[in-house]
């Protein structure tokens, strides 16, 4: 028997999720910046910039620009999508074979096998499809049996279920 429910996806939630996704690589970024900082401290003693420091500062600056550009682009995309959706709900229909969504923007039906991972946050679930693509399901509007059903489907398919 299918499980059907409506959710309201807010711009605020989508922006929060986008920022979380963007900052997933923070340990790598922090390590890189620490190494560059150590090089700068070492170079400040010798009063001469090494190639390592110059390349490191350039890379850090470039990385910051890329992250900023990605963040701005994502926020604009979310705002555009939210304007098109308006206050209309997104209707979910879960069956043993598929996850079906419908809104005033269109209809989508995916087999459970297309998903790659499930990431659980306190405010939403992210159903990962491909690298960087996912469906955002707010917990506030989803019934408990739907959340349990989704977890079970991911476990049946031996897909990763992560709690963040």
Mean pLDDT of 83-88: 84
pTM, entire model:
0.73
Tens digit of pLDDT for each residue in 29-58?
778 778 777 777 777 777 777 777 777 778
Per-residue confidence (pLDDT) for residue 155, from 0 to 100: 95
Fold of domain 3-7+88-163:
PH-domain like (2.30.29)
Domain boundaries, the chain: 3-7+88-163, 14-84
Strand 133-138: give its sheet, edge to edge: 133-138, 124-130, 117-120, 161-163
Cα–Cα distance, 125 to 119 (Å, whole number): 6
The first and second tokens of residue 16, run together, are 């929060």
């Amino acid at each position: 028997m299918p499980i059907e429910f409506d959710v309201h996806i807010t711009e605020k939630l989508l922006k929060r999720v986008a920022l979380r996704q963007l900052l997933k690589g923070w340990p790598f970024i922090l390590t890189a910046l620490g190494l560059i900082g150590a090089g700068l401290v070492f170079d400040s003693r010798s009063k001469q910039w090494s190639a390592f420091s110059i390349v490191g500062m350039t890379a850090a600056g470039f990385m910051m620009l890329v992250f900023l550009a990605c963040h701005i682009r994502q926020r604009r995309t979310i705002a555009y999508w939210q304007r098109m959706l308006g206050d209309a709900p997104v209707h979910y229909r879960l069956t043993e074979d598929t996850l079906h969504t419908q809104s005033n923007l269109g209809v989508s039906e995916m087999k459970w096998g297309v998903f790659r991972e499930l990431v659980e946050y306190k405010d939403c679930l992210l159903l990962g499809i491909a690298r960087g693509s996912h469906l955002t399901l707010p917990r506030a509007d989803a019934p408990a049996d739907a959340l349990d059903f989704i977890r079970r489907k991911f476990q049946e398919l031996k897909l990763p279920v992560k709690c963040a």
